């Protein structure tokens, strides 16, 4: 859904192969990319005399990605959160500070949204075929849904000092916010490395800051939620110092008996969302916050989601299904940041 539009910059690959015409320019755009979190990352930053070379930056980035994987991956049994998930009810385990921070943020987001967000959603995701322990995508029985709902509940997890505790046999997964957190971590590290112009994208979560060598801003395209590989640009935003998340129901889904079931589960219902909101884009100084808020607004739907965004001054761009096409609506904060007719 998010696609960076680079114009007027000489791109350099991770092998630092300069394209012709870049030699006379003291600044150039370096590109780093690779696999992560079951998907990919792409980083573009402006290299100049005060910034590290791309190989050194690549080492820094990989170090952060490896740390996040060791701490938060639910796809490896030896991660910190996997150890917590394997522990029985009524236990507390010491956890790294990032795990505690994300658990606390997830709890606060759950409480403020009346449970529209829930880090313990794993059993329902697996049941519907979208989780790490999922089998086949299918519509489960009402009895199976009811049983899975007894195995979730954000209120059963709490942070106590340097420990993560649970009073029920629930499991925590950070897949809904880990990428946004990772983007913020890399952004913070770039500031320490004197890199002040960049676009960082991790599995679709993104932040951009500064300007490219030709003075132009980083431009991010919002696409219509068409799916099936179709790409139609709906809006282009000029971003400087903000993270962006686009959450939608159109990429990861299955159909059964003519009905679409997306990977976005409403914890209260125990089933995929069924309203007409197809996607929502959130812009926030923190990619982590944009990531979490995007999920909340998508679960809440167009009416409740817009009310939530207005109450909390969230910059949000909503795309609803409307017959054979789409209708859009924006929050007041989004309209203030990106006036119609401008970028």
Q: What percent of the chain has pLDDT over 70?
A: 90
Q: What is the mean pLDDT of residues 24-31?
A: 82
pLDDT on residue 56? 97
Name the least confident of 37-46, 98-107, 225-234: 225-234
Domains of the chain, residue spans: 1-74+175-209, 77-166, 217-343
Burial of 266 (0-12, 13-18, 19+ CB in 10 A): buried
Say how far apart CA 208 and CA 225 lie, in whole Å: 22
The whole-number pLDDT of residue 341 equals 55
Is the confidence at residue 224, as pLDDT, over 60?
yes
The CATH H-level (homologous superfamily) assignment of domain 77-166 is ApbE-like superfamily (1.10.3980.10)
Q: What is the pLDDT of residues 275-333, one digit of tens each?
A: 999 999 999 999 999 999 999 999 999 999 999 999 999 999 999 998 888 999 999 99
CA distance 2 to 287: 13
| Residue % of the chain over a pLDDT of 90 | 77
- The rounded distance, in Å, linking the Cα atoms of 309 and 304 is 9
CA distance 128 to 312: 32
Rounded CA separation 290/315 (Å): 9
Average pLDDT, the chain: 89
Note the pLDDT of residue 12: 35
CA distances from 131 to 25, 79, 265 (A): 47, 17, 11
Q: How confident is the model at residue 8 (pLDDT cuts 50, 70, 90)?
A: very low
**Residue 194 burial by CB count (10 A; 0-12/13-18/19+): exposed, middle or buried?**
exposed
Q: Which fold has domain 217-343?
A: T-fold (3.10.520)
The predicted pLDDT at position 227 comes to 60
Question: What is residue 13's predicted lDDT score, i.e. its pLDDT?
Answer: 36
Beta bridge partners, 93, equal 164
Close Cβ partners of 85 (under 8 Å, ≥ 6 residues apart): 74, 122, 171, 172, 173
Q: Which of 73, 126, 89, 332 is nearest to 81 (CA)?
A: 73
Read off the pLDDT of residues 37-86 as tens digits, 9 standing for 90 and up.
Answer: 989 999 999 999 999 999 999 999 999 999 999 999 988 899 999 999 99
pLDDT in tens, 153-202: 999 999 999 999 999 999 999 999 999 999 999 999 999 999 999 999 99
pTM of the model: 0.88
Lowest-pLDDT range of 115-124, 125-134, 197-206, 227-236: 227-236
**Mean pLDDT, rounded, for 230-256:** 87
Question: pLDDT category, 228, cuts 50, 70, 90?
Answer: low
The pLDDT score that the predictor gives to residue 254 is 82
Does pLDDT of 29 surpass 90? yes
Q: Is the pLDDT of residue 207 over 60?
A: yes
Write out the chain in H/E/C secondary structure.
CEEEECCCCCEECCCCCCCCCCCCCCCEEEEEEEEECCEEEEEEEEECCCCCCHHHHHHHHHHHHHHHHHHHCCCCCCCHHHHHHHCCCCEEEECCHHHHHHHHHHHHHHHHCCCCCCCCCHHHHHHHCCCCCCCCCCCCCHHHHHHHHCCCCHHHEEEECCEEEECCCCCCCCCCCHHHHHHHHHHHHHHHCCCCCEEEEECCEEEEECECCCCCEEEEEEECCCCCCCCCEEEEEEECCEEEEEEECCCCEEEECCEEEECCEECCCCEECCCCEEEEEEEECCHHHHHHHHHHHHHHHHHHHHHHHHHCCCEEEEEEEECCEEEEEECHHHHHHCCCCCC
Give the pLDDT score at 3.
Answer: 41
Residue 138 has pLDDT above 70, yes or no: yes
Q: What is the structure's pLDDT at 301?
A: 96
Kindly tell me if the per-residue pLDDT of 216 is higher than 70. Answer: yes
Sequence-distant (≥ 6) Cβ neighbours of residue 165 within 8 angstroms = 91, 92, 93, 157, 158, 159
Task: Find out whether 319 and 302 touch, Cβ atoms under 8 Å.
Answer: no
- Residue in 341, 288, 335, 339 with CA at minimum distance from that of residue 314: 335
Q: Which of 129-143, 155-169, 201-215 has the lowest mean pLDDT?
A: 129-143
Residue in the structure block whose two tokens are 């070379």: 53
């Amino acid at each position: 859904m998010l696609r960076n539009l680079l114009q007027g910059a000489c791109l350099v690959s991770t092998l630092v192969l300069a394209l012709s015409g870049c030699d006379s320019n003291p600044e150039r755009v370096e590109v780093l990319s690779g696999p992560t979190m079951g998907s990919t990352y792409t980083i573009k930053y402006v290299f100049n005399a005060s910034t590290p070379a791309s190989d050194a930056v690549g080492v820094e980035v990989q170090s952060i990605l490896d740390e996040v994987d060791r701490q938060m991956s639910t796809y490896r049994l030896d991660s910190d959160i996997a150890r917590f998930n394997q522990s029985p009810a009524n236990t507390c385990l010491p956890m790294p500070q990032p795990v505690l921070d994300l658990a606390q943020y997830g709890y606060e987001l759950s409480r403020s949204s009346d449970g529209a967000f829930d880090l313990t959603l794993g059993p329902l995701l697996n049941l519907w075929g979208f989780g790490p322990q999922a089998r086949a995508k299918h519509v489960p029985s009402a009895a199976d849904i009811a049983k899975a709902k007894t195995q979730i509940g954000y209120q059963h997890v709490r942070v106590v000092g340097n420990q993560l505790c649970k009073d029920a046999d629930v499991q925590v997964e950070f897949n809904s916010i880990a990428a946004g957190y990772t983007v913020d971590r890399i952004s913070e590290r770039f500031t320490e490395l004197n890199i002040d112009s960049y676009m960082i994208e991790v599995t679709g979560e993104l932040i951009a800051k500064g300007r490219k060598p030709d003075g132009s801003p980083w431009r991010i395209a919002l696409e219509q939620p068409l799916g099936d590989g179709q790409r139609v640009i709906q809006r282009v935003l000029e971003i400087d110092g903000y993270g962006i998340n686009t959450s939608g129901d159109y990429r990861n889904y299955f159909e059964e008996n003519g009905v679409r079931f997306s990977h976005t589960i409403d914890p209260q219902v125990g089933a995929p969302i069924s309203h007409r909101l197809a996607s929502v884009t959130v812009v926030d100084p923190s990619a982590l916050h944009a990531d979490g808020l995007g999920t909340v607004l998508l679960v809440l739907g167009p009416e409740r989601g817009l009310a939530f965004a207005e109450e909390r001054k969230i910059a949000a761009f909503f795309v609803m299904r409307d017959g054979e096409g789409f209708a859009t609506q924006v929050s007041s904060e989004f309209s203030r940041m990106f006036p119609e007719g401008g970028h």
